[in-house]
């Protein structure tokens, strides 16, 4: 094992012990170390880091900057144990990642998606029930893609209607109460699941037809397949509305409803932030500027507050 490989193992273990998942960055940093080993380089240099970061030529410059940022953080760690390490300057690749504008699904699009899920082919009959309920749960709760997939049966309280989300992004856990209609849908699915899959191989609440836990890859693949089928994406479109946009939809629809109902949004925004599992409330504030209709509602509220304070 090379010195860089040993240092990377220690670096990843230390950061993961602090609650960082580092799934993508961990894989990419291992590729960087392999790149360095193939080049016969035993310590990090600026030239090596930039060459590796810009190696994929068919991506956006922001991705180059992101790759270089991963190496910079690793280099800072290495500089404490190997004085030959050079930490690349932060402004070499100044491009920054910009969040794509959220796609706000219309009600009829949600209906078509769930109906299409009920028509999925199946061997035992469980698959359409699983995906229709799962996609409905995304719509109703705004959970991240992998969060309901990690739910075990004992983490879904079908009596009080509360989900226990454990150890997800940023290592945070939280309780997610659900609407009575969602609670009923989960109860119906549990009854159907237990009837169609009597001896599952997993304690997962949502099961594949083999009785195993669903993978994030299979869920995303099924979503894209159904998106093409119902016209959310064109026949040849590689990109389009995302599964994650269902999470955006919940946040934006909630904020718009609050503004229209005269709710003190500033006061209640931390509640939405906690429900969504955001690490910082600034992540929730982003929705106010990412959506023109929300931004307009926020400005109207500010103008109203100013008039009231002057009267």
Residues with a catalytic annotation lie at 144, 169, 244, 247, 278, 287
Which stretches within the chain are classed as H helix? 3-17, 23-38, 46-53, 61-79, 107-118, 126-141, 180-196, 216-230, 245-260, 265-276, 281-290, 292-310
- The closest of 213, 226, 214, 210 to 120, measured between CA atoms, is 226
Half-sphere exposure of 244 (CA within 13 A, CB side): 8
| CB-based contact 134:112 (threshold 8 Å) | no
Half-sphere exposure of 234 (CA within 13 A, CB side): 4
Residues 6+ apart with CB under 8 A from 223: 135, 243
- The closest of 280, 287, 249 to 143, measured between CA atoms, is 249
Q: 87: which DSSP letter?
A: P
| CB-based contact 201:211 (threshold 8 Å) | yes
- CB neighbour class for 181 (10 Å; exposed up to 12, middle 13-18, buried from 19): exposed
Half-sphere exposure of 258 (CA within 13 A, CB side): 19
Pairwise CA distance, residues 202 & 154, whole Å: 12
Pairwise CA distance, residues 212 & 124, whole Å: 14
- CB neighbour class for 141 (10 Å; exposed up to 12, middle 13-18, buried from 19): buried
């Amino acid at each position: 094992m090379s010195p860089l490989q040993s240092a990377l193992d220690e670096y990843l273990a230390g950061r993961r012990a602090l609650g960082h998942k580092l799934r993508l960055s961990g894989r990419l940093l291992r590729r960087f170390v392999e790149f360095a080993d193939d080049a016969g380089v035993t310590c990090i240099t600026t030239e090596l880091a930039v060459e590796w970061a810009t190696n994929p030529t068919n991506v956006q410059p922001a991705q180059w900057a992101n790759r270089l940022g991963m190496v910079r953080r690793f280099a800072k760690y290495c500089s404490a144990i190997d004085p030959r390490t050079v930490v690349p300057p932060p402004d070499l690749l100044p491009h920054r990642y910009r969040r794509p504008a959220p796609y706000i699904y219309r009600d009829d699009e949600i209906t078509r998606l769930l109906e299409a899920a009920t028509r999925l082919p199946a061997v035992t009959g469980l698959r359409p029930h699983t995906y229709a309920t799962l996609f409905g749960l995304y719509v109703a709760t705004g959970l991240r893609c992998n969060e309901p997939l990690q739910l075990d049966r004992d983490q879904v309280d079908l009596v009080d209607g509360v989900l226990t989300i454990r150890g997800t992004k940023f290592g945070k856990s939280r309780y997610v109460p659900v609407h009575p209609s969602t609670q009923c849908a989960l109860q119906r699915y549990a009854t159907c699941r237990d009837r169609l899959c009597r001896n599952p191989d997993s304690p997962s609440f949502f099961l594949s037809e083999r009785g195993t836990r669903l993978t994030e890859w299979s869920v995303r693949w099924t979503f894209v397949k159904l998106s093409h089928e119902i016209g959310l994406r064109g026949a040849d479109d590689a990109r389009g509305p995302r599964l994650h946009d269902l999470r955006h939809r919940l946040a934006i629809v909630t904020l718009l409803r609050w503004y229209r109902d005269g709710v003190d949004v500033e006061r209640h925004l931390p509640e939405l932030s906690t429900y969504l599992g955001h690490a910082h409330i600034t992540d929730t504030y982003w929705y106010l500027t990412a959506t023109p209709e929300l931004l307009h509602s926020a400005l109207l509220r500010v103008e109203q507050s100013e008039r009231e304070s002057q009267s």
